[in-house]
């Protein structure tokens, strides 16, 4: 069931109507039933069984890893290995089989293709949808319980609800238990006109970004990526920039729908984006893009790795080699931890070297190099008397960050790592900036009218992003989750007629300009496939 289908919104309306009628003690039960039913509609029976087994194993283990239980460390390690092996086995079997087959081919004929195909078919049959999201959510909860950050949830139903809350089960965000326990159960959630209007506005904005902007950009991106041999030079850079905007509108639009639905329920979810294209460095960019994934890896991978015995010894060795201020000279433990985290980010996005390089190792290396070069850059700006507070310098840093980002992200869309490098080699084969002025861009799958609609839609996106940026981006909500403070807060201050006109304008734009209908099969959300 697609999040941009009529069936999905009818389902949500029915769930909401029953939810607000029920007493407080039954509301969370209804959310659990609705979430399981939604999952059942989007999975096969055997996949549902695998998901339930995963929940049961983790719930049972969570009761055994508290301080008053015998052998909590051993239980925690066992359930962590179980969760990681399930995630890796279900999502990356093909990737590791390719590596094993390549290595075996160096010494023999490799793996029988028939065996590989049958194994992959079994994995596809068993792999539960959204495993990349709910596995990280549960692993984070289990770790917090083991570390003593949160109290164990002894109610199996509430534990299952936390792991399978309906909106987040669509595609995240990757929440932490302490963010959700105060809102998923407890006080009764009443229907609210304010939340209904605000949530609906956000849902419509998300649909606009997906159907009006992202789907048009997808046509251009697909045309150039699929035939990059006939589109040399600036076409490749244009496609890379278009894909960055396509992915942003696709993923942030998905989050707008998810967070808007959850807002109507009265349950805040954390933001996943905070105007990333305003970033002045790649490190800042990734603090603003897919925020919950980065936060999860920082909490449960980077910091955890830094506390291991091996890294403690490494810090002692660095201190002995470089002195007490080794952090400023050469902070090898931090850089190594960053590379591990970025490798996992790339792997999480997909089992392929193009993902591991493009949105993983490459990003980590650029961030490390930029940190190492900070003293040199500081001296250079001082020598050249550059005003680092000027808007022009900030604009330059934002443009530089955007270029660095789209280069790495282009491999995300490429079919393989080799494919990506061939594209960029083709990008430097000719100097053809005239394509932006001779109407060549109108021959990339959408005509002049459609192209102008896309430009107007991007202009609307720019205006909204400027407003959100000037209003401070995300802010902390009462529920402990970060919420976007932007266009909707501006609209909430306006008169009803003005808000109604904006609402109708967006709705009409979707109806008139959106890519949908029986004759058009809009692709599903990109991050919804994980």
Alpha-carbon span 22 to 337, nearest angstrom: 48
The residues with which 482 forms a beta bridge, in sequence order, are 476
- With b for 16 or more beta-carbon neighbours within 10 A and e for fewer, the 9-48 pattern comes to eebbeebbeebbeeeeeebbebbbbbbbebbeebbeeebb
Name the residue among 193, 210, 186, 178 with its Cα closest to residue 263.
Answer: 193
| C-beta separation of 217 from 243 below 8 A | yes
- Please give the model's pTM, rounded to 2 decimal places: 0.90
| C-beta separation of 359 from 346 below 8 A | yes
| C-beta separation of 214 from 250 below 8 A | yes
- Half-sphere exposure of 262 toward its Cβ, with a 13 Å CA cutoff? 28
| pLDDT of 529 | 61
Per-residue confidence in pLDDT tens, the chain, 530 aa: 677 788 888 999 999 999 999 998 899 999 999 999 999 988 899 999 999 999 999 999 999 887 677 788 899 999 999 999 999 888 888 888 777 776 666 665 556 667 777 887 888 888 888 888 999 999 999 999 998 899 999 999 999 999 989 888 877 799 999 888 888 887 888 888 888 988 998 999 999 999 999 999 999 999 999 999 999 999 999 999 999 999 999 999 999 999 999 999 999 899 999 999 999 999 999 999 999 999 999 989 988 888 888 888 888 888 877 777 766 667 788 889 899 999 999 998 887 899 999 999 999 999 999 988 888 888 888 888 888 889 999 999 999 999 999 999 999 999 889 999 999 999 999 999 999 999 899 999 888 999 999 999 999 999 889 888 887 766 655 555 666 666 777 887 888 888 888 888 888 888 888 886 544 444 466 665 65
Q: Which two tokens stand for residue 96?
A: 């590791």
| C-beta separation of 52 from 129 below 8 A | no
**Rounded-to-10 torsion of CA 466, 472, 478, 483:** 30
- Half-sphere exposure of 133 toward its Cβ, with a 13 Å CA cutoff? 23
Give the residue carrying structure tokens 């850089």: 335
| Domain ranges (residues) in the chain | 6-191, 282-414
311: which DSSP letter? Answer: H
Distances (CA, A) of 177 to 39, 138, 429: 20, 9, 51
| pLDDT of 207 | 92
| pLDDT of 384 | 87
| pLDDT of 518 | 42
| C-beta separation of 270 from 481 below 8 A | yes
Name the residue among 204, 193, 205 with its Cα closest to residue 266.
Answer: 193
Alpha-carbon span 212 to 520, nearest angstrom: 13
Alpha-carbon span 131 to 109, nearest angstrom: 34
């Amino acid at each position: 069931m697609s999040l941009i289908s009529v069936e999905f919104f009818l389902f949500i309306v029915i769930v909401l109507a029953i939810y607000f009628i029920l007493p407080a003690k039954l509301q969370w039960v209804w959310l659990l039933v609705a979430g399981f039913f939604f999952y059942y509609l989007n999975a096969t029976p055997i996949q549902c069984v695998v998901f339930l087994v995963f929940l049961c194993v983790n719930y049972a283990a969570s009761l055994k890893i508290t301080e008053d239980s015998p052998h909590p460390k051993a239980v925690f390690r066992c359930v962590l290995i179980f969760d990681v092996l399930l995630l890796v086995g279900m999502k990356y079997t093909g990737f590791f089989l390719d590596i094993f087959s390549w290595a075996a081919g160096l010494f023999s004929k490799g793996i029988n293709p028939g065996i590989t195909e049958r194994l992959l078919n079994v994995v596809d049959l068993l792999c539960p949808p959204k495993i990349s999201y709910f596995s990280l959510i549960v692993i984070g909860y289990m770790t917090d319980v083991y570390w003593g950050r949160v109290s164990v949830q002894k109610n199996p139903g509430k534990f299952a609800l936390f792991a399978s809350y309906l909106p987040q089960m669509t595609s995240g965000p990757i929440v932490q238990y302490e963010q959700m326990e105060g809102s998923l159960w407890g006080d009764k959630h009443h229907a609210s006109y304010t939340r209904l209007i605000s949530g609906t506005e956000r849902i419509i904005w998300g649909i606009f970004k997906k159907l009006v902007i992202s789907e048009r950009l997808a046509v251009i991106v697909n045309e150039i990526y699929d035939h990059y041999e006939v589109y040399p030079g600036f076409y490749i850079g244009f496609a890379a920039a278009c894909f960055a905007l396509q992915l942003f509108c696709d993923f942030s639009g998905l989050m707008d729908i998810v967070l808007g639905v959850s807002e109507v329920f009265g349950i805040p979810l954390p933001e996943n984006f905070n105007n990333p294209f305003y970033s002045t460095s790649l490190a800042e960019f990734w603090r603003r893009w897919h925020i919950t994934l980065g936060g999860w890896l920082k909490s449960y991978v980077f910091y955890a790795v830094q506390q291991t015995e091996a890294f403690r010894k490494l810090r002692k060795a660095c201190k002995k080699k470089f002195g007490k201020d080794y952090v400023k000279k050469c902070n090898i433990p931090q850089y190594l931890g960053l590379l591990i985290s970025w490798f996992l980010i790339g792997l999480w996005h997909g089992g392929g070297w193009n993902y591991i390089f493009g949105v993983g190792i490459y990003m980590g290396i650029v961030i490390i190099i930029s940190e190492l070069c900070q003293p040199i850059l500081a001296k250079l700006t001082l020598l050249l008397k550059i005003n680092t507070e000027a808007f022009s310098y900030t604009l330059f840093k934002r443009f530089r960050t955007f270029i660095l980002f789209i280069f790495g992200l282009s491999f995300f869309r490429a079919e393989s790592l080799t494919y990506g490098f061939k594209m960029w080699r083709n990008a430097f084969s000719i100097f053809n900036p005239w394509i932006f002025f001779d109407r060549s861009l109108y021959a990339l799958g959408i005509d002049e009218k459609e192209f102008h609609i896309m430009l107007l839609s991007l202009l609307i996106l720019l205006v909204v992003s400027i407003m959100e940026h000037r209003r401070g981006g995300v802010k902390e909500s009462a529920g402990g989750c970060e919420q976007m403070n932007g266009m909707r807060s501006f609209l909430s201050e306006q008169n009803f007629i003005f808000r109604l006109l904006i609402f109708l304008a967006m709705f009409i734009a979707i109806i008139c300009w959106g890519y949908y209908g029986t004759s058009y099969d809009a692709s599903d959300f990109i991050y919804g496939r994980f």
